[in-house]
Structure 1
Amino acid sequence: MWAQALRTIPRVSKAEWDRLDVISRWLIASRSAVLVMTFISAAIAGILAFAAGLFDLRLWLLVTLGLVMAHATNNLLNDVTDSLRGVDRGNYFRSRYGPQPIEHGLLTMREMLVYAAITGLAALAAGIYLVWATGWPTLLLLALGAFFVLFYTFPLEYVGLGEPAVLVVWGPLMVGGGYYVIAGAWSWNVVLASLPYALGVTTVIFGKHIDKIPADREKGIYTLPVLLGERLSRGAAISMMALQYAFVLYLVLTGFFTPVMLLVLLALPMFRDVLKVYLKPRPEEVPQDPRLAALWPLWFVNFAFVHNRRFGVLFLCGLILEALLRGVL
């Protein structure tokens, strides 16, 4: 179950849940399958610090732990907030594609808050140590992270600011801030280099919110796709995917990246397939493909996630190869 929960969001019955160990329950409740996106941002920060000759393994491990636990805390609090506001009651979108522990009776509100508190304290402990070890400027990064953890779901997501927040968090804050903590120096080039992957993460949340447009509009949740409408939102997602490649090309042409980073172009066939999906409206019925039917009602988010995973792995591989080559040369 640990492996399954890290790959996808398992659908489990109450009887199955009762047989699970506490780690499996935490992995499912925190939606650990999406935490890999945070790990990749932390890895990018670490590799860029290594390439600059400023890598500190202890600091990187603590940065990674803190960021992953903060993301998990946000996911747990997301379900708490939506339950308290009555958003997930009934047959709401979130409750249809995976277990919402509170609404499905898997965890009580008190138990969910305990999960969130323990996870949040782990993130906070890592952050406090990093402030002590690296200086007070890190406190600002910790405060910004805490702000997004606590207020992403409400009010940011409800007023069309959730998607811009994701771009800021997974790029400048996680990668740029993580690099600063690990290397002891701020770099605007690193911030710029964070954008190709951060844009990919933003397409994932964009895809999810496009899928939820009717449900969110009915609940009074005005995400950016709700405000833009499906057609414009699909176009925005396509543009962000294209910008991932454009930023890498720009960084290669300006010399910050070497041509090794053109490895990401191997993701273009996947982008082409995703483009075909995003050029058409969302299907009204369950797809015939059993793999897609198993994930329904998720649609656009599935393709954005697969593309981001392919691009992200190639981006990481390119950074690793580039760092090794710089070390040899």
Structure 2
Amino acid sequence: MNVGMWWKALRVIPRIDQEEWRRLDVVARWLISTRAAVLLMTFFSAAFAGLFALRDGRFDLGRWVLLALGLIFAHATNNLVNDYTDYKRGVDRDNYFRTQYGPQPIEQGLMSQRELFAYIAFSAAVAIAAGIPLVIYGGTTALLLMAAGAFFVLFYTWPLKYIGLGEIAVLLIWGPLMVGGGYYVITGAWNWNVALASLAYALGPTTVLFGKHIDKLGSDRARHIHTLPVLIGEKAARYTVLGMIAAMYLLVIYLVARGFFSPFLLIVLLALRAMPRVWTMYRRPKPAERPAEYAADTWPLWFSAMSFYHNKQYGALLMLGLILEVILL
């Protein structure tokens, strides 16, 4: 077992060659192939759904565990499907951005198409198996939520990302679908306030995706992938991210003022300590070459790395605020 690599793959997206890949166990390969480090964002959404249910006295541990497993393995399936779709469309050839920041196993010959299909089948089977009991409990609404999730898993990369809808899809998925829908399958009731509050977190993963699409804007434009940054332009995209980050804090303040959140949630304001770095970076275009002081194992991720850094702090503090609210109120 490669436990050290398991831990590394959960923290970062490791760069690995074929010789290292051959020495890895199947768990490490799955974690690397699914880009497990970003699955943390999905766990946060599942955790928020559970905390909202717990706050309302309607938490069910069994349903929450099924929800968390289903969402995480659905996200893993999506990442694998994305790699296959881009491979078949020829997007990842010729040192494309995706192959620079982490291994694209099928494009780089680390695994065969058959092996990739096995990983997809396993991940999808776990997600579906976790979802079936929730659908039985939640009925038609839960089935529709699961169907919506399956749609985004299969069609995010193509055509949604190609027509400027990928970023909007992520906002809906990590917010109303995962958190609002998660709350529903745990409690059996839909809550529009929870769906609204979910956007305070969902904007974070959206800034990460926006940042990545700005990072590879030139490559995407050359391949006719019309992400929102490609459509609106690099400068407008950078300032859009700053606007979304501002909205993350303003929405929490608004929900505290309305009484939906307690003042404990204002603890997220501590994440503003990251804003000088975020502001400085997003005010300027990405440099053409890696600055000498910039981590080599992070480049060519630039805006996306900064958004991920901010989102981890913000998400952890938002969760802490909800936990304090549940415990102390």
Deviations along 1:26-81, one digit per CA (max 9) or x if unpaired, are: 00000000000000000000000000000000000000000000000000000000
| 1:235 is the counterpart of 2:245 | no
How far is 1:87 from its partner? 0.5
Match of 2:38 in 1: 34
Q: Please state whether the residue corresponding to 2:297 is helix, strand or coil.
A: helix
Gapped regions of structure 1 (runs ≥ 5): none
- Cα distance in 1, alignment partners of residues 152 and 225 from structure 2: 18
| 1:213 is the counterpart of 2:217 | yes
Match of 2:131 in 1: 127
Gapped regions of structure 2 (runs ≥ 5): none
Match of 1:314 in 2: 317
Match of 2:301 in 1: 298
Deviations along 1:191-237, one digit per CA (max 9) or x if unpaired, are: 11101110011000000000010000011100000101110000100
**Which residues in structure 2 correspond to 1:231-310 (within 5 Å)?**
231-291=235-295, 293-310=296-313
- Cα distance in 2, alignment partners of residues 305 and 5 from structure 1: 15
Give the one of 8, 15, 19 matched to 2:12.
8
- Cα distance in 2, alignment partners of residues 26 and 138 from structure 1: 28
Match of 2:77 in 1: 73
How far is 1:133 from its partner? 2.5
- Cα distance in 1, alignment partners of residues 279 and 188 from structure 2: 40
**Which residues in structure 2 correspond to 1:188-227 (within 5 Å)?**
188-227=192-231
| 1:171 is the counterpart of 2:175 | yes
Over the matched positions of the two proteins, sequence identity in percent amounts to 59
Match of 2:68 in 1: 64
- Cα distance in 1, alignment partners of residues 147 and 222 from structure 2: 33
8 Å CA contact retained: 2:229, 2:237: yes
How far is 1:136 from its partner? 2.3
How far is 1:269 from its partner? 1.3
- Cα distance in 1, alignment partners of residues 290 and 33 from structure 2: 26
8 Å CA contact retained: 2:9, 2:36: yes
| 1:105 is the counterpart of 2:109 | yes
Paired residues in the alignment total 325
When the two structures are superposed, what TM-score results if normalisation uses the length of structure 1? 0.98
8 Å CA contact retained: 2:137, 2:185: no
- Cα distance in 2, alignment partners of residues 112 and 131 from structure 1: 28
How far is 1:144 from its partner? 0.3
How far is 1:113 from its partner? 1.1
How far is 1:290 from its partner? 4.5
